[in-house]
Amino acid sequence: MLKLAWRNIIGGGIRTWLNVFILSIVLVAIIGFHGLYIGWQRDAETAMIKWHIADGQFWQQDYDPYDAFSFEKSRSVMPAGIADEKSVEFLVSQGVIYPQGRMQNIILKGIEEEQDILELPTEYLKYEAGKNKLMLGHRTAKKLELEEGDKVMLRWRNSHGSFDAREFEIVHIFKTTVLTIDQGMVWLGLQQMWGMLDRQGEVTYFSYKGVKPVVSAGWEHKTQDDLLAEFRAVFATELTGGIFMYILLVFLAMIAVFDTQVLALFKRKKEVGMMMALGMQRGQIIRIFTLEGLLSGFLAVGLGAIWGIPLLRKFEETGMRLPEMMDSYGMDGLLDAMYPKYTLGLVALTVVIIMLILLVVSYLPVRGISKMSPVEALK
């Protein structure tokens, strides 16, 4: 049966190869598009882990990053027994920044200056007596129209409830794909923050590296999954748009194969009649035509591999350049380019889906024609 189906499909000439080519385009396009989403998610999560999360965090139990009023009460002394080189401490406070005389509410984040766990370039914030250093992400810098070397006034409220203000120099503007460490905040050295708030030794949360430390009560543990959950939820919404494209491409493939099958069967009606006359059974006829559809799928996988693998590999290396406006799209992981990732699972799943569709659209038209009487088919 396989031999007959193979002969038919190869003998189909240009019709077969056109069909196979269209299928291979759909296959590569689906993998290509979906790979972008996988790459985006993977890059965004990796960046969030490298720049902020590390292996997990402990939050002071009252800390709520979305409630500025929680900042004042969510500070404690760092729990004992945690090695300094295994953790990075953060202190969060509310403040106001005055770029070019304008007033803007801002979150002040103090971070341990000497650390090598996170990729945040904290070395720029190294404490120097008498120097007020500040760094910020490029999005916030752009929004506030600030550049490296600029001086800017910060105002905050210390632990006694008094307002204080000082002029800070912007020592560095960093570029990151992680929005949660960029938008609406500025970064200061932890030692500087302690002095400003008069909260010596207190932190709001800390990231740790390695095994989860044993921490006393009053601290809430956040795993990587907890901290990525919000991004994943937003990403899932984005993915819905991607799935629409996926369905559209699959639908295109379906139409192409169904159309070819129907047309081919209409053209080959007499052939079916002859097969019946020679003793081919209904089941065999269904199998041979369905197999032809599946074989065209296998050929499409082969052809897709020949031109698709080098193309997707190249795409994986160069990535897809993003327009500057994507910076303000409000999603993590988007900066200059998106780098797709093609997993074996993605390829296998796409191939299986295409094959299943081929099975259905090859089977449906032939089912009808095989019900005809041989005399009808031979006419």
Partner 1 sequence: MEQLISIRNMFKDYPIGLGKFTALKDINLDFEAGEFSGIVGPSGSGKTTLLNIIGSLDVQSKGEVKVMGREVSELTRKEAARLRSEHIGFIFQTYNLLPVYTVFENVEFPLLLMDVKPGIRKEMVDKAIEWVGLKDKRKSRPAQLSGGECQRVAIARAIVKEPQIVLADEPTANLDAENSHHILRTMVELNEKLKTTFIFSTHDAKVIEYLRRKITLVDGRVVEDN
Residue keyed to tokens 């590999």: 313
CA 255 to chain centre: 30
Do 235 and 342 meet the contact criterion of CB atoms below 8 Å apart? Answer: no
- Strands 133-137 and 76-77 come out as unpaired
Cβ at position 283, least distance to partner 1 in Å = 8
Give the residue with the Cβ less far from partner 1, 73 or 270: 270
Give the residue with the Cβ less far from partner 1, 46 or 281: 281
Query: Mapping DSSP to helix (H, G, I), strand (E, B) and coil, where does residue 154 land?
Result: strand
Cβ at position 270, least distance to partner 1 in Å = 6
Residues 6+ apart with CB under 8 A from 262: 365
Give the residue with the Cβ less far from partner 1, 146 or 275: 275
Other Cβ atoms less than 10 A from the Cβ of 191: the count is: 17
Do 28 and 312 meet the contact criterion of CB atoms below 8 Å apart? Answer: yes
Give the residue with the Cβ less far from partner 1, 7 or 131: 7
Give the residue with the Cβ less far from partner 1, 195 or 374: 374
Cβ at position 9, least distance to partner 1 in Å = 9
Cβ at position 271, least distance to partner 1 in Å = 6
Cβ at position 292, least distance to partner 1 in Å = 11
Cβ at position 13, least distance to partner 1 in Å = 8
Nearest one of 222, 193, 207 to 93, comparing CA atoms: 193
Give the residue with the Cβ less far from partner 1, 61 or 373: 373
Cβ at position 373, least distance to partner 1 in Å = 7
Q: Which residues pair with 165 in a beta bridge?
A: 155
- CA–CA distance, 173 with 142 (Å, rounded to integer): 10
Helix axes 224-267, 14-48, angle to 10 degrees: 170
Give the residue with the Cβ less far from partner 1, 213 or 293: 293
Give the residue with the Cβ less far from partner 1, 52 or 287: 287
Give the residue with the Cβ less far from partner 1, 94 or 284: 284
Do 292 and 362 meet the contact criterion of CB atoms below 8 Å apart? Answer: yes
Residue keyed to tokens 């560095």: 172
Cβ at position 277, least distance to partner 1 in Å = 5
Other Cβ atoms less than 10 A from the Cβ of 66: the count is: 5
Residue type, 332: D
- Residues of the shown chain interacting with partner 1 in the complex, contacts defined by CB under 8 A: 3-4, 7-8, 10-13, 270-271, 273-274, 276-282, 284, 373-375, 378
Cβ at position 279, least distance to partner 1 in Å = 2
Other Cβ atoms less than 10 A from the Cβ of 322: the count is: 14
Q: List b or e across 241-253, with b for residues whose CB sees 16 or more CB atoms inside 10 angstroms.
A: ebeeebeebbebb
